[in-house]
Amino acid sequence: MKILKTALLAILGLAVLVLIIAAFVPREMNVEKSVVINRPVEEVFDYVKMLKNQNEFSVWMTIDPKMKKSYEGVDGTVGAVTKWDSQNEEVGKGEQEITAIEANKRIDSELRFIRPYESTAQAYMITQKASAHQTKVIWGFHGESKYPMNLLQKIIGIEEILGDQLQQGLDTLKDQMEG
């Protein structure tokens, strides 16, 4: 009985320690990656502003070929929405809405994740003229994790994983636009 009591106290102490550590781990997550594409900024912007085109370069849109997708509104304009539903937990269920566009410069979106967990995040793509025929594309993501999930996400390296996925998508975009 004494061993069981000691073990339970140790587990409880460890749980309290984990919760205390989580209180000091940042809840915000900011990830940004970039690539230079050998195409004019207008051409690149016109391509990346279209939600349907993300099917061709976004890692998440290619994970599950059986994923259900739907679109609302006029693609490439503020208010356009793409919805997805996948049984694959890496993709889950959610939607993306274009919230702001600055022609040839920036597209902002809100991501609303429904499953496997509910959350909201902000994403953006920035296109910058690098030269007459080159465009720097920056793909970024901003989100906040709920306590104590912030610690778990830090432990599994979610920012690094997300950064790798954004970079893979940008590299695919570059190959497609230059190919």
The confidence score (pLDDT) of residue 161 equals 78
Residue 77 CB coordination number (10 Å): 12
Judge whether 174 lies within some domain: yes
Judge whether 150 lies within some domain: yes
* Angstrom distance (rounded) from CA 174 to CA 178: 6
Q: In the chain, how many domains are there?
A: 1
Residues of the chain with confidence (pLDDT) below 70? 16, 18-23, 25, 147, 150-152, 157
Q: Residue 79's domain spans which residues? A: 27-178
The confidence score (pLDDT) of residue 21 equals 66
The confidence score (pLDDT) of residue 10 equals 80
CATH number at residue 135: 3.30.530.20
pTM > 0.85: yes or no: no
Alpha helices in the chain (DSSP H): 2-24, 41-48, 54-57, 59-63, 149-156, 158-178
Judge whether 139 lies within some domain: yes
Judge whether 20 lies within some domain: no
Structure tokens that stand for 55 in this block? 């099917």
Judge whether 10 lies within some domain: no
Judge whether 143 lies within some domain: yes
Q: Output the CA–CA distances (angstroms, integers) from residue 81 to 22, 112, 123, 136, in the order listed.
A: 34, 11, 14, 25
Helix or strand holding residue 108 (H, E): strand 106-115
Judge whether 17 lies within some domain: no
* Angstrom distance (rounded) from CA 175 to CA 98: 24
Q: What is the pLDDT of residues 64-110, one digit of tens each?
A: 888 999 999 999 999 999 999 999 988 899 999 999 999 999 999 99
Judge whether 60 lies within some domain: yes
